[in-house]
Structure 1
Amino acid sequence: MPTLARGERRRLADLLIAAGPDAPTLCTGWTTRDLAAHLVLRERRMDAAAGIRIRALAARTARVQAQYAARPYEELVRLFREGPPRLSPFALPGADEAANTVEYFVHAEDVRRAGDWEPQAVAPALAEALWARLPMLARLEAGRKSPVRLVLLRSDGGRAEAGPEDAGYVEVTGEPGELALFAFGRGARAQVRVAGAEEAVAALRAALPLPPEEL
């Protein structure tokens, strides 16, 4: 059954193949090969994936990821395209859609926007799914790093907030996909508008990437 996560998985796999194994990505220090290895590890080696979030376990995660990265690139992309193995938690009903829709959208843009790129429309159903997940994800991602209150405004209406409540605030306006990219630290390549007091914007700029035209 087609789902948004499966659609983004296919798109990301296609972008990885088109880019080749040595292309840059927006993931600092990672080539497309590194990103492909990360994606395979994340859903096929749960025993080693904890280091993605837990710093104390990051060394083991890096070792296992390097082992995957040593495999043929086409094999890595094929494994990712096939989806999680039967015993992976991501194979549970609904888990792929809940955990990977935003993940794969962001990583697809990590590949697409690392070089020359042009704006690309996001399907309405995907845009709504990204927006629905944005409040929680903004609190977990950008909100943890921001020194100011983030007011995320959807271009056609809608509002989400994250970050400390006892500080100045900055408004970040854009389409759902662009706001998701901003929330995940890709603000330098996101089409968002930033507005707020000069001091608040400067503090945000020191903590999170913002579009060059806003600096």
Structure 2
Amino acid sequence: MSSLARAERARLSGLLSAAGPDGPTLCEGWLTRDLVAHLVVREGRPDAAAGIRVRPLAGWTQRVQDRAAARPYGELVKSFRSGPPAFSPFNLPGVDEAANLLEYFVHAEDVRRAVPFEPEEPKAELVEALWRRVPVAARLGESRPSVSLRLTRPDGREVTVRRHDRPLVTVTGEPGELVLFLFGRGAKAAVTVEGEPEAVAELAEALPLPED
């Protein structure tokens, strides 16, 4: 596993353990037990994990996840912390870094920011890795907005994701905050949003905007 994905797995495991089985998360309808069950099923049950993305299979995935969530919580967290089982495709070279870094980062913040939290400054290596993935998050995040997005860091670096000549909205924040915004956690993300009112309203239909 890549060192960054491994570090985020450990961080998320620690947050889950500290929160206990009935802790809140930013994932609507999920307690911490549901979140860790999702993670364990995603890595250990390829037959059920497809329903995470494929809507017709979502019912099967939910049934498997509900059974997993009924297992002892400490056992689930330990299973996730120890990594995917030997047969899991997540053990293939390069898959962990490509598929898991954003997943673990976002879910760690789902646990951390569901309760009153203090800002944290991620390590520079993680910040740059998240920045490299911002364009992917913009295209594959929680809900793809129909507006064009200019995603800008405070230091002036930016990437633009165009959508068929749609109006442009600028979202500014540190890379981790941009990732959280693009994955639907904008209400808890430290970003600013600028653009024509109609375009900002259109963006808000797809992704939550920061809380005032």
Which residue matches 1:132? 132
CA distance in 1, matches of 2:87, 2:205: 42
Q: Within 1, Cα distance between the matches of 2:4 and 2:211?
A: 31
Name the SS of the counterpart of 1:172 in structure 2. Answer: strand
The residue aligned with 1:116 is 116
* Greater displacement, 165-174 / 38-47: 165-174
**Residue type matched to 1:180 in 2?**
V
Contact 1:146 1:163 in 2 (8 A): no
Distance in structure 1 (CA, Å) of the matches to 2:159 and 2:124: 19
Root-mean-square deviation (CA), in Å? 1.3
Q: Which amino acid aligns with 1:157?
A: G
The SS at the match of 2:77 is helix
User: Which whole-Å CA distance do the structure 2 matches of 1:24 and 1:65 have between them?
Assistant: 17
Aligned residue for 1:38? 38
State the distance in 2 between where 1:128 and 1:4 align: 11
Q: 1:206: how far off?
A: 2.3
1:141 Cα deviation from its structure 2 partner: 1.9
* Contact kept in structure 2, 1:127 and 1:176, CA below 8 Å: yes
Q: Output the amino acid matched with 1:29.
A: G
Distance in 1, Cα, partners of 2:106 & 2:130: 10
Distance in 1 between residues matched to 2:161 and 2:60, nearest whole Å: 32
- 2:56 corresponding residue in structure 1: 56
CA distance in 2, matches of 1:108, 1:115: 12
Structure-1 separation of matches of 2:2 and 2:168: 40
Q: Percent of pairs identical after alignment?
A: 62
Runs of 4+ that moved beyond 4 A:
none
Other-structure match for 1:77: 77
Alignment of 1:95-110 (within 5 A): 95-110=95-110
Matching of residue 202 in structure 1 with residue 192 in structure 2: no
Query: What per-residue deviation string (whole Å, max 9, x for no partner) do you get for residues 111-150 of structure 1?
Result: 00001011100110001111111112211226x5313111
**Alpha-carbon distance between aligned partners in 2 of 1:126 and 1:157, rounded to the nearest angstrom:** 18
- Distance, in Å, in 1 between the alignment partners of 2:109 and 2:34 is 15
Residue 211 of structure 1 is matched in structure 2 by 210
Q: Is the 8 A contact 2:150 2:171 kept in 1?
A: yes
Show CA shifts across 1:34-59 (max 9, x none). Answer: 00000000000011100000101000
Deviation at 1:97, TM superposition (A): 1.5
TM-score in terms of structure 1 length: 0.95
Aligned to 1:12: 12
- SS at structure 2 position matched to 1:209: coil
Question: How many residue pairs were aligned?
Answer: 212
Amino acid of the structure 2 residue aligned with 1:58: A
TM-score w.r.t. the length of structure 2 is: 0.96
Per-residue CA deviation, residues 56-92 of structure 1 (Å, 9 max, x unaligned), is: 1000000000010010000000000000111111111
Aligned to 2:155: 156
Contact preservation (8 Å) 1:139, 1:163: no
